[in-house]
């Protein structure tokens, strides 16, 4: 029974159906090249329920036309002593029921669709990557901060802080020299509290008085 194609179909779509039916092992890219469309176009057609239904009907017509020859070949094999061929003939005629799992009892059309699923999934992955790239948002470049010159007030504060720091260093050095001159050990390393520093300085002064030493600051 012939299968009528929808009148709205373009010749490329009808030709694709013919190639898929007559050459089920052909890759989609080869069919796309021969028909003159992209692989993605055939991929979209395979998602169309109308396309799949027409594909299935035409495939079953073609498949059914081959069954008599196949069955005759199996009968000849069975008559020649091929037990497996005889089993298949009996199963086909309904004389022998074979209990199998439904998942393993696939029609040739279903097997063909499974062979094409890998290619279709590959296209889905490519489409997903393209969509992901298209959704990527390029952020504007971060502006480079402009270094501002310090004001005169800031420069003056920096200068005064430096002078105060140098004064503290000179004072600390003078006290170390005074303590070494009278044999008073330096305070332990680390930050000293004001009370600890005063106690240490008092010991230095006391030792200077005992030794009648002129303070370092008065030399």
CA distance 88 to 19: 29
pLDDT of residue 143: 65
Could you give the residue ranges of the DSSP H alpha helices within the chain? 11-22, 28-35, 39-46, 49-79, 83-93, 108-134, 152-182, 194-210
Quick one: what percent of the chain has pLDDT higher than 70? Answer: 67
| pTM as predicted | 0.34
Q: Which of 77-81, 90-94, 200-204, 212-216 has the highest mean pLDDT?
A: 200-204
What contacts 76, CB < 8 A, 6 or more positions away? none
CA distance 26 to 19: 8
- Can you give the residue ranges of every domain in the chain? 11-134, 152-218
Q: What is the DSSP letter of 95?
A: S
Higher pLDDT, 44 or 103: 44
pLDDT tens for 105-134 read 555 566 566 666 555 555 555 555 444 444
pLDDT of residue 100: 45
């Amino acid at each position: 029974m012939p299968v009528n194609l929808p009148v709205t179909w373009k010749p490329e779509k009808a030709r694709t159906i013919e190639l898929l039916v007559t050459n089920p092992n052909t890759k989609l890219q080869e069919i796309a090249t021969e028909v003159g469309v992209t692989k993605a176009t055939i991929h979209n057609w395979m998602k169309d329920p109308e396309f799949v239904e027409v594909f299935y009907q035409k495939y079953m017509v073609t498949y059914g036309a081959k069954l008599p020859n196949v069955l005759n070949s199996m009968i000849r094999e069975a008559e020649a002593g091929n037990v497996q061929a005889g089993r298949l003939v009996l199963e086909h005629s309904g004389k022998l029921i074979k209990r199998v799992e439904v998942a393993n009892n696939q029609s040739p059309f279903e097997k063909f669709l499974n062979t094409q699923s890998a290619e279709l999934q590959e296209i889905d992955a490519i489409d997903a990557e393209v969509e992901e790239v298209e959704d990527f948002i390029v952020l504007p470049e971060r502006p480079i901060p402009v270094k501002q010159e310090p004001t005169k007030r800031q420069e003056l504060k920096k200068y005064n802080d430096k002078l105060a720091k140098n004064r503290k260093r000179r004072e600390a050095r003078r006290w170390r020299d005074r303590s070494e001159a009278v044999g008073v050990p330096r305070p332990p390393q680390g930050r000293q509290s004001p009370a600890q520093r005063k106690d240490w300085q008092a010991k230095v002064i006391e030792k200077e008085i005992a030794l009648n030493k002129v303070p370092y600051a008065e030399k």
